């Protein structure tokens, strides 16, 4: 079986797919320069990861010549890091970002050109081979990997520094993702530094310090995984929060049913008339929130219409003794149904408004439960 489907590779592909799907969704919602830049960054890393697999790189070399896969792989990594730098520039520099982005393209183009020239100067029998003791003393191989590595070091450190600056103003969920991304980029930069030291020591001075190369590989792999987790975490956390919120609104919509039913029977006009929606709209996640807020509004309207039959302190009773409030509400509904005359004055039917609608609905939930019992 091909190593393409090893457990580590499968996990990495799942993370890349999740991150790329989330970024494409964000671009569709807001096609801004920062969103496009992050999407290009994730796509570049994903393609570079695929090109590292022996099965795919052999096919690339067979079509374009030996060494083509190595050049394309490292060029994609450089483009991905450059896109990440562009993201931070686009988010921070405002109107000046386009000129600054153009400046960032210069070292990227120089690094890619250096890789192409170095690979062309490499002897054919060494092209496409991995960096190691048997290839490091060739100047073409050394210049190729050193040029690619130096650009990655510059870009990764610059991005990690930008992320640290953003941590001070980010919210909690985003801050967690940014921390993971910063640590991941720092780990990847450390791995690239180890590899650069390995190249410089072996090429310039002769000794092959294998431990530097061995240290670089796990740092880059762990750093890439952490970066992907950091990019994906805020979106995944937001999806789970939205799911919990929908479930909560669905439960509360059902729990408000007893109170809503008696008020609609007394005041049919409180039911909001809305145009018919298409099937896709009815099945969308937003429909759960729509019917929930609609029920809350209808209950409030019903209580306001019934308020002339209620005592002035009914709102406080709802907060302190839902059972007594339910009895008072039933008595008021009976008086209304019997056609008795009210005092004609609208009253406060709920406690003082809360900071959010969920807190404001709690007394309605307690009153509805008391009505049902």
Which pLDDT value is given to residue 93? 59
The conformation of residue 67, written as its DSSP 8-state character, comes to: T
Which pLDDT value is given to residue 354? 55
Q: What is the mean pLDDT of each run of 10 residues along the chain (373 residues)?
A: 65 81 83 82 86 84 87 91 83 65 87 92 86 86 91 91 82 83 91 92 86 86 84 82 89 92 90 66 69 89 88 81 89 88 77 66 88 80
Residue 328 near residue 311, CB atoms below 8 Å: yes
Residue 61 near residue 67, CB atoms below 8 Å: yes
The neighbour count for residue 74, using CB atoms within 10 Å, is 23
Which pLDDT value is given to residue 1? 39
SS3 content of the chain, % helix, strand, coil (to 5): 80, 0, 20
Give tens-digit pLDDT for 334-366: 988 888 887 777 777 777 665 567 777 888 898
Residue 230 near residue 164, CB atoms below 8 Å: no
Q: Which residues are CB-neighbours of 371 under 8 A, at least 6 positions away? A: 258, 259, 262, 326, 329, 330
Give tens-digit pLDDT for 51-105: 888 888 888 888 888 889 889 999 999 999 998 888 877 766 555 666 777 888 8
The neighbour count for residue 148, using CB atoms within 10 Å, is 25
Cα four-point dihedral sign 128, 131, 132, 137:
positive
Torsion of CA 124, 76, 81, 5, to 10 degrees: -100
Six token digits for residue 300: 């409030």
Which residue has tokens 């985003």? 174
Which pLDDT value is given to residue 275? 64
**3-state DSSP assignment of residue 53:** coil
Six token digits for residue 166: 């953003």
The neighbour count for residue 266, using CB atoms within 10 Å, is 17
**3-state DSSP assignment of residue 162:** helix
> What are the C-alpha distances in Å from 154 to residues 145, 158, 160?
14, 6, 10
Q: How many CA atoms lie within 13 A of 190 on its CB side?
A: 14
């Amino acid at each position: 079986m091909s190593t393409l489907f090893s457990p580590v590779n499968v996990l990495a592909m799942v993370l890349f797919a999740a991150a790329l799907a989330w970024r494409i969704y964000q671009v569709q919602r807001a096609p801004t320069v920062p969103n496009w830049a992050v999407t290009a960054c994730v796509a570049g890393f994903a393609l570079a990861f695929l090109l590292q697999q022996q099965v795919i790189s052999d096919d690339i070399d067979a079509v374009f010549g030996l060494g083509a896969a190595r050049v394309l792989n490292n060029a994609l990594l450089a483009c991905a890091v450059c896109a990440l730098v562009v993201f931070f520039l686009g988010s921070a520099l405002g109107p000046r970002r386009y000129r600054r982005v153009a400046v960032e393209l210069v070292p990227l183009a120089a690094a890619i050109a250096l890789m192409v020239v170095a690979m062309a100067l490499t002897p054919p029998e060494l092209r496409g081979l991995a960096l190691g003791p048997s290839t490091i003393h060739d100047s073409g191989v050394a210049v190729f990997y050193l040029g690619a590595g130096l650009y990655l070091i510059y870009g990764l450190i610059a991005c990690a520094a930008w992320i640290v600056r953003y941590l001070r103003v980010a919210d909690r969920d985003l801050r967690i993702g940014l921390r993971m991304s910063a640590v991941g980029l720092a780990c990847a930069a450390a791995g690239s530094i180890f590899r650069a030291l390995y190249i410089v020591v072996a090429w310039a001075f002769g000794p092959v310090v294998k431990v530097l190369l061995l240290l670089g590989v796990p740092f880059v792999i762990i750093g890439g995984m952490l970066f992907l987790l950091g990019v994906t975490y805020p979106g995944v956390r937001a999806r789970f929060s939205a799911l919990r919120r929908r479930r909560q609104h669905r439960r509360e919509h059902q729990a408000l049913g007893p109170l809503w039913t008696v008020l609609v029977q007394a005041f049919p006009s409180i039911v909001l008339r809305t145009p018919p929606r298409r099937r896709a709209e009815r099945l969308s996640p937003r429909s759960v929130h729509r019917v929930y807020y609609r029920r809350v509004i209808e209950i409030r309207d019903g209580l306001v219409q019934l308020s002339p039959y209620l005592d002035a302190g009914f709102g406080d009773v709802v907060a302190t003794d839902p059972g007594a409030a339910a009895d008072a509400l039933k008595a008021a509904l009976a008086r209304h149904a019997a056609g008795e005359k009210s005092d004609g004055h609208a009253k406060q039917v709920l406690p003082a408004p809360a900071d959010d609608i969920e807190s404001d609905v709690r007394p309605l939930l307690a009153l509805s439960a008391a009505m049902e019992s």
